[in-house]
Chains A and B, each alone.
Chain A
């Protein structure tokens, strides 16, 4: 088989799934989406063991491979979770069929964004994720979800216009947008550097990086659980992937320092915002923002900092999707996202409660989960390059985030004096459990990650 085609398989399968979903046959949308996601995951695993592939259109190195794999894993779990979760949504904006069409296209655009060998096409792909995902936010038809979908469109698109300007600057000064060519040689002038800086700000909007993060808690707080899960787990890292490429192209001290400052500010703002959250979905959204901040710090540091960032991307993707799936279970039982109104979760939904407790620990960087190991890598480089003081400041904010999330999650799970009736356990909880287990297993594959990212370290 033509090598080129093998690397296009994940995009092809997800798009094929979307096309099959158009046919109005009962349950065909669900079956097609499951098959498409299984085939995408199989091809992503196969690609992982294939050599690095670079041609005029594709750029598949270790970083791309790991992102394709993460997207594929979260894609499959999101489809499986959606199968039963959509039944709990009473006022759907559109038919199930359109939900699956959009979900499949959304995933295809993410696969496309992390596979192409052109900064302009990466922009086109990431903007296409906005087009395909905006309606998914408003799956549950009410004024608040529709408003948050609108805010998402307008804020993210405006941010992406900034990154389009950056693409213009880069092309204007380098005469090419080919990732491969830019990595080999690039101009060293002011226009090129401004282009890179604008790119970090512009794509940072989509990744929930401070100060353009305001859409993130609104959307995650109001979107249905599977949509919040896929947004948090893979959409934000896909935008960060673009930033990683920008830093990789032009790793000057100014660019790295700029990205580091944005990363630290993102962690700080997210941690402080977590302390005042009374809505558990918004709280976990800020937790995603905090993790994106850490990933950005890792990318800015390079070397083993980058390895740490990639470990967090994969592990956070699995653990955070697990968390958001479980918030869906909680919401469908309690019908509220207010932390104060959720009590005795361990009695009503023991399996989901225990998983949520461990998953919350995982996403906040508790050992022995891989996020903790990723953070260790980042701190070791941070201390070497910038000294203890900055590392301690970041550790302080991580500690605030850790205490806020786990205290509030613990409160929902363990408080409540009255006895609650145990609810029937839900099959979809198993999807969250599997993702959490996988997130733990990531720690065993770190040496392989190192091997895959050898050229970047």
Chain B
């Protein structure tokens, strides 16, 4: 089963790399939906791999498909349609890294994830390839910091959450159902609220241009 998990983890990293290269927001949303389905498959397999079948993991997989795989992408697409006349043409204008740079950085991040895991946790956890969720987490961070478009930053955050689901399931056998369900509900609320904020933000930027930089300095 561990080998199948490794393949799924690798697929998730590839999907995140594709998100990194892609400039059209709509396609990035589709890639995120696809990666959420992979997470759902992972949860089903995790449930099947247990000595006693864990039905709550199947419920969680169903919730993941409904919320992460369908509802969140639909909400984001709807928000895009309300904001832009041609939502399929919305794109990141100024990605921080080109394709070459992002491949290089991604490889570096995978190496860093592996290094951190191997040197700090492997001796205790003894889970082979447990560094994959860490690498995925770092990739998602890169997605956030290398893009200015709010939707792509939001997707970066959602990929981070996917990495945590994978980490908890693969390395630690999963979190209690009530916590996982709470996390998913929070996520849904966050996406709805964020879509609203992004809509107001983007329409203000379209109207006035970026005027906030001097006032928000962190």
Contact = CB atoms under 8 A, between A and B. Distances in A.
Interface of A: 93, 118, 120-121, 123-124, 127-128, 130-132, 134-135, 138, 141-144, 146-151, 153-154, 157-158, 161, 164-165, 167-169, 171-172, 177, 189-191, 194, 214-215, 217-218, 221-222
Contact of A150 (B173, B176, B201): B201
B191 to A, nearest CB: 9
A151 B120 contact: no
B177 to A, nearest CB: 10
Contact of A146 (B157, B168, B197): B197
Contacts of B75: none
A146 B137 CA distance: 27
A198 to B, nearest CB: 11
A191 B172 CA distance: 11
Contacts of A214: 218
Interface of B: 120-121, 123-125, 137, 141, 144, 150, 153-154, 157, 160-161, 164, 167-168, 171-173, 175-176, 178-179, 182-183, 185-186, 189-190, 193-194, 196-198, 200-201, 204-205, 208, 211-212, 215-218
Given A143-B201, A150-B150, A165 B167 contact: yes
B172 A171 contact: yes
Given A150-B150, A157-B157, A172-B173, A131 B189 contact: yes
Contacts of B189: 128, 131-132
Given A157-B190, A165-B167, A218-B218, A194 B121 contact: yes
B208 A161 contact: no
A35 B138 CA distance: 47
A134 B197 contact: yes
Main secondary structure of the interface of A (DSSP, over half): helix
Given A130-B190, A168-B167, A194-B120, A135 B196 contact: yes
A171 B168 contact: yes
A147 B212 contact: yes
B218 A217 contact: yes
A22 B131 CA distance: 47
Contact of A127 (B144, B153, B190, B215): B190
Given A161-B161, A190-B124, A153 B167 contact: no
A153 B190 contact: yes
B48 to A, nearest CB: 20
B164 A168 contact: yes
A191 B212 CA distance: 42
Given A120-B179, A146-B197, A167-B179, A190 B216 contact: no
Nearest to B145: A158
Contact of A153 (B124, B160, B197): B197
A144 B216 contact: yes
Contact of A190 (B121, B141, B153): B121
A168 B121 CA distance: 13
Nearest to B213: A147
Nearest to B127: A172
Contacts of A144: 211-212, 215-216
B200 A138 contact: yes
A135 B199 CA distance: 12
A144 B124 CA distance: 47
Given A120-B175, A171-B175, A135 B215 contact: no
Contact of B200 (A132, A141, A148, A191): A141
A183 B93 CA distance: 51
Given A131-B190, A134-B197, A143-B201, A222 B216 contact: yes
A234 B123 CA distance: 41
Contacts of A148: 212, 216
Contact of A191 (B125, B137, B154, B185): B125
9 contacts: A130-B190, A138-B197, A144-B216, A147-B201, A147-B216, A148-B212, A157-B190, A177-B176, A218-B216
A194 B119 CA distance: 13
Contacts of A161: 137, 157, 160-161, 164
Contacts of B216: 144, 147-148, 151, 218, 221-222
Contact of A124 (B120, B164, B183, B205): B183
Contacts of B183: 123-124, 127, 164
